[in-house]
Amino acid sequence: MQYYSLHNKAPKVSFSEAVIKGLAPDKGLYFPESITPLPKSFFDNIENLDTIEIGFQTIKQFVGHEIPENELRDILKDVLSFDFPVIDITKNIGTLELFHGPTMAFKDVGARFMARCLEYFNKDNDDKVTVLVATSGDTGGAVAQGFLGVKGVDVVILYPSGKVSDIQERQLTTLGQNITALEVDGVFDDCQDMVKKAFLDESITNHMKLTSANSINIARWLPQLFYFVFAYKQLKNKGKEIVFSVPSGNFGNICAGIVAHKLGLPVKHFVAATNVNDTVVRYMKTSNYEPKPSKATISNAMDVGNPSNFIRIQQLFDNKFESLKSNFSAYSFDDVTTRDAMKEVYNKSKYIADPHGAVGYLGLKEYDLQENEYGVFLETAHPVKFMDIVEKTLNVKIPIPPQIQKVMNKQKVSIKTNDYKKLKEFLLK
């Protein structure tokens, strides 16, 4: 499998090169040269396959021959070592829980997969690789945990000061070892801009190997397609058409779902549910893409004004607006509406949704499901990660799971920075 830049001004590269580079030299995102649908028999018989086999069959064409089959299966055994259950909320709505991993967020799978791939590619190499990543919330903790102690890899995480939850901050600032957190005086888009600038700065890249663990990296982005296939396996016997509503910030997760659809996964429609950061929602109404600075919300992981992965979604539909519009919708909701949705879900089913899951639920309500459709909203993080918001909104007490308890009393360590010059100084020292 070869990967090309969506700016089309850089040479094609292998899977390993795309993982290690992160971003193409022409600033473009890497994209697979082809997506070959799986045989219909794969989906017809999916209930007879276990999680590892499903993962292997759906990802192997993207990895190619660069990781031997037995090694790739071992990576998947490590990455997919927890459950991904669909929980019924109402008669025709369920939630796909993606928070049963080590940091209790959906990004655990992509971060762990990328870490294991990078470890494999770097096993005979004494050169250090620095993973540089921006986070609006859960990416930081998942990347920190996924790469913790990985040989030959240093991790530098940029996060916006005061704009991630307390638990999210602890998960990325308390691990030590090969993990460093930079606390940026700004918003997520400032962090992401600094990361992109570093990748294009030859005075940095000529001196060190730099890669990203944001969803711009194919090894972080593509494994997220597993979730949608796992959900289909559980829902197949309902005999209904499936609509996925995905809480969307940088749009990597929903983009991976569309890749699963291109592999042959039966999906009726995709809904991108966003908070007030509505760049894609406005685009779907006007066909004009006009990013705006991000605004802080209670669903902070989606506080993204210029989502990187939307260009990949456009490419998946051959850059044809009408084709995109027939398969994909986008809706925006404010914090008041989000809190109301959290209450509605809890009152209907006693299910505690975090703010991001509640936005996903709202996406399904806006889409207006038909009798022959079953809607799935993705619950992307455990509600404990937004404890103050959830407990205050629902008047409930959330028990703290073991994964979270182990970081609660650890000392936060971060380096404060407010401009690119300081980031560059830190990287080069």
Question: How does residue 135 score in pLDDT terms, banded at 50, 70 and 90?
Answer: confident
Exposure pattern of 91-117 as b/e (b: 16+ CB <10 Å)? Answer: ebbbbbbbbbbbbbbbbbbbbbbbbbb
Average pLDDT over residues 319-326: 96
C-alpha neighbours within 13 Å on the C-beta side of residue 395: 3
Q: Report the amino acid identity of residue 310.
A: F
Question: How does residue 201 score in pLDDT terms, banded at 50, 70 and 90?
Answer: confident
Q: What is the CATH number of domain 83-105+220-399?
A: 3.40.50.1100
How is the beta sheet containing 93-97 ordered, strand by strand? Answer: 86-90, 93-97, 373-379, 241-247, 269-274, 328-332
pLDDT in tens, 170-199: 888 888 889 999 999 988 888 888 988 888
Task: Give the N- to C-terminal CA distance of the chain in Å, as an integer.
Answer: 36
- When mean pLDDT is compared across 43-47, 159-163, 285-289, 327-331, the lowest value belongs to 159-163
DSSP line for 241-294: EEEEEEE-SSSHHHHHHHHHHHTT---SEEEEEE-S--HHHHHHHHS-------
Residue of 152 and 221 predicted with greater confidence: 221
Residues in the chain: 429
Q: What is the pLDDT of residue 162?
A: 87
Q: What is the dihedral of CA 106, 111, 116, 120, to 10 degrees?
A: 150
Question: How does residue 328 score in pLDDT terms, banded at 50, 70 and 90?
Answer: very high
Q: What is the pLDDT of residue 225?
A: 98
C-alpha neighbours within 13 Å on the C-beta side of residue 428: 15
Q: What is the pLDDT of residue 406?
A: 81
- pLDDT exceeds 80 at position 146: yes
Residue carrying the six token digits 């025709």 = 92
Question: How does residue 407 score in pLDDT terms, banded at 50, 70 and 90?
Answer: confident
Question: How does residue 335 score in pLDDT terms, banded at 50, 70 and 90?
Answer: very high
Q: Catalytic amino acids?
A: 107
Question: What is the C-alpha to C-alpha distance for residues 67 and 61, in angstroms, rounded to an integer?
Answer: 11
Q: What is the mean pLDDT of the chain?
A: 93
CB atoms within 10 A of CB 90: 14
Q: What is the pLDDT of residue 168?
A: 85
pTM, entire model:
0.90
Question: What is the C-alpha to C-alpha distance for residues 31 and 309, in angstroms, rounded to an integer?
Answer: 11
Query: Where in the chain are the domains?
Result: 83-105+220-399
Q: What is the pLDDT of residue 341?
A: 98
- In degrees rounded to 5, what are phi and psi of residue 238? -75, -20
Average pLDDT over residues 289-295: 91
Q: What is the pLDDT of residue 124?
A: 74
High-pLDDT (> 70) share of the chain, %: 100
- pLDDT exceeds 90 at position 255: yes
Average pLDDT over residues 203-226: 90
pLDDT in tens, 78-96: 999 999 999 999 999 999 9
High-pLDDT (> 90) share of the chain, %: 67
Q: What is the pLDDT of residue 31?
A: 98
Pairing of strands 30-32, 2-5: antiparallel
